[in-house]
Amino acid sequence: MIEYNYQKEDFTLEHGHDIQFWLEGLIQQEAHSLGEVSFVFCDDEYLLKINQDFLGHDYYTDIISFDYGLGRQVNGEIYVSIDRVADNAEDLGVEFTNELHRVMAHGILHFLGFKDKSDSEAKEMRKKENEALESRSFI
């Protein structure tokens, strides 16, 4: 089950059911099963506090994921800063929705074992994000 929670009151996810189906497909493609994943859509300050309190980092980020996976079952929490996603979309010259979906897929890909710390890992992560975005049938 994928659920959506809103800390940022002026944001509502469009196509939530379609996104859930799309992300479930991404999970199944990597031979995993869906347990419980919670997306929390928040603002910069909310995510900064999580970054400081739980990770010891004092900077803004677009996403933080907490992986509670059990074997090949995907479980976890994904926090997404809508402020960062909007700024990144503008900086990259892409649609907000496209960048939001990229970040959502990015969080799921972390749960599937993909990393992005090294250059080679980041390159593979970007490839998987692009493949995921291309597989959307609802946009």
Q: What SS3 class is residue 65?
A: strand
Beta strands across the sheet bearing 2-6: 2-6, 33-42, 73-81, 63-67
Distance CA 116, CA 106 (A): 10
Known binding residues for Zn(2+) are 106, 110, 116
- Chain length of the chain: 139
